[in-house]
Amino acid sequence: MAVIGKLFSRDNFRLSAVKHNIVKYSNTGIISIVNKRNGDNNYIKEIRAKNNWQSFTKRKLYTYNRNIEAMALSPLDPSSYSRPELAVVKHVELSLDVDFENKQLSGLALLTVNAIEDINEVKLRIKYKTSPSATALQWLEPKQTSGKKYPYMFSQCQPIHARSIMPCQDSPAVKFTYTAEVSAPENFSVLMSAIRDGSNNTKTTFRQPVPIPSYLLAIAVGVLESRELGPRSHVWAEKEEIERSAWEFADTEKYLQAAEALCGPYQWTQYDLLVLPPSFPYGGMENPCLTFAGDRSQADVIVHEIMHSWTGNLVTNRNFEHFWLNEGFTVFLERKVGASLISDKDEARKSRDFNSLLGLQELTETIMSNLGPTNPLTELVPDLTNTHPDDSFSRVPYEKGSLFLRYLEDTLGGADTDQFKSFLFEYFKDSADQTKALNDVDWATWLHKPGMPPVIPEYDTSMTKAVKNVLLKINLNDTASLDYNDVISFSPHQMINLLQHLVDQDALPLDKLRTLGEAYRVSTSKNTEIAYRWLRICIRSRDENKLNDSFAFVNQQGRMKYVRPIYRDLYAWEDVRERTIENFLRNEPYMMHVSAYTIRKDLHIDV
């Protein structure tokens, strides 16, 4: 039984490694341990926590009268105390109650654990409650929702926040199936990252037969409606958003079929979408069976989340040091699928390369302007010892990872990290030319050196030439020459590319800035990617007329991709720095933990 004490001594109930104390278990908390050995199925030990589970496990856990000291971080995962090399949770049965008044989930978790030492299988029954400040849960007041009448709750467990809402081995190296029975107020819909088996007025049941890592556990509860998108898809949203959401994501089945043509059959049975309120910190989250979408303005984000159904959800990084294997592969495949939807092969190639160039722009800003070219977090495989994975989040694993795969594709003519490299060599071992090409790859620099990639693929630049011509006109000519005809033929991505160039260069004079905004019709754009970049350009030019719009944007948006750069730009403007910090502190209670935590660091506020 020693292994069980090690397995659950800290990881699930204390986050001391990342300086959080999140989960507080009920005063009547009980663990029941079931020994399943030689056909026996009897309770061998029952442990009662006299105060709460957190204090009970703070120093020592006694099982079978054996003293188990709290252990160090797992040798396989620097972000977890779990020990999957000793024992692994294989299945979880959840029975939960949703309490909006106290902002808690409470109930039972029955964990089936396969142990290597002493016994074959153990079952743990744990009664628990989450804390109102559990970092994986966002509890919204009615005024924060579209309908303004009912509360709303949703989760975000990635990267290491599942431990704040359920007992688990919170490491992507551990995958488990699960079932759940969730009770919620009458007329509230409950959704999870699982197949919805049935529901009545207050209780909903789920099953997830495909093993998932803990970060893909997801739950959302609100007064929601659904619309059918296709034979295996529905979209869920508040009543005020449902029709527009159904229209926005009408092509979901087409995207699924294109992904299957590249990656093989979809394994998760259903692919539903949930459109969340804007406080959600990401554009999307690839929870199996139920993708969370941050808003309706970026339907192409759904292609990215669909690709995660193969890369990330089925094949998963061992720990978050290897996060690029999730996101780099997903971006790489997302762009291939997007190109496959264009019938003209030449245009498809140009489109894929243009989107890759947009990604390279974002990567360059991230490395050269934000993190710095010598920052260890710009390595594809960063060392996260003593580093919270939230602190390592950036465009690097997405874009540097995708660029590396494109480089390998160009080098080979098509087609942990050490395991990935070994697979490539094994796969091509009978081809002398391919083996030589792999030997010529500078693996150490690509994977373990900070800064920009050592090689940039030769992308088709035909779609960028028109953008650069307009950029040249902006920089060389007087303001009177700027005209909408300059950009009338631009795709939205070309306009985004143009604005990103303006973000990256020296600030524009105010008169030229305002003329450009009106002439090119970007100052009133509803496209989030365009509006975000336009606000950054205005902040860099110190346009005080755009301050209210900038604060409104960060207060209404939860997506870190947009909010963090704007907060950093506002902080760099000394005259509005104090106002920026005040705005953040006023809105922090309405933000998800991961957003508030990282923006606090951006604004140099103690965390």
Q: 37 by DSSP, 3-state: which?
A: coil
CA distance 227 to 245: 9
Cα distances (angstroms) measured from residue 485 to each of 1, 429, 469, 534: 74, 55, 13, 19
Residue showing tokens 């005209």: 483
HSE-up of 333 (CA within 13 Å, CB side)?
A: 27
Query: Which among 482, 478, 458 has a CA at the least distance from the CA of 470?
Result: 482
Check if the beta carbon of residue 131 is closer than 8 Å to that of residue 46. no
Q: Please tell me the distance from the alpha carbon of residue 601 to that of residue 594, in angstroms, as a whole number.
A: 11
Our measurement of the distance from residue 496's CA atom to the centroid of its chain's CA atoms, rounded to an integer in Å, reads: 23
Which residues, listed in sequence order, are joined to residue 140 by a DSSP beta bridge? Answer: 152
Active site residue 398: yes
Between the alpha carbon of residue 139 and those of residues 15, 226, 271, the distances in Å are: 21, 21, 25
- How far apart are the C-alpha atoms of 434 and 430, rounded to whole Å? 8
Element (H, E) at 133: none
Residues 573 and 329: their CA atoms lie apart, in Å, by 37
DSSP 311: B
Rounded-to-integer distance, Cα 415 and Cα 240, Å: 45
Task: Say which of 238, 305, 334, 399 is annotated catalytic.
Answer: 305
Give the active site residue among 25, 255, 271, 398: 398
Q: Which amino acid type is present at position 150?
A: Y
Contacts of 236 (CB under 8 A, 6+ apart): 189, 191, 224, 225, 226, 242, 272, 273, 274, 275
**How many CA atoms, within 13 angstroms, populate the side-chain half-sphere of residue 58?**
12
DSSP code for 310 = T
Residue pair 34/42 in contact (Cβ under 8 Å)? The answer is yes
Which residues make up each annotated binding site for a peptide?
156-158, 281-286, 559-561
3-state secondary structure 410-476: HHHCCCCHHHHHHHHHHHCCCCHHHHHHHHCCCHHHHHHCCCCCCCCCCCCCHHHHHHHHHHHHHHH
**Active-site residue, 81 included:** no
As a residue count, the chain comes to 607
Angle (deg, nearest 10), helices 547-556 and 560-572: 150
Question: Letter for the amino acid at 196?
Answer: R
Known binding-site positions for Zn(2+): 304, 308, 327
Long-range contacts of 97-100 (CB under 8 A, 24+ apart): 97/182, 97/183, 97/184, 98/153, 98/182, 98/183, 98/184, 98/185, 98/188, 98/190, 98/221, 100/139, 100/151, 100/153, 100/185
3-state secondary structure of 393: coil
Strand order in the sheet with 219-222: 137-140, 152-155, 219-222, 189-192
Helix (H) or strand (E) run with residue 399 in it? none
Residues designated catalytic: 305, 398
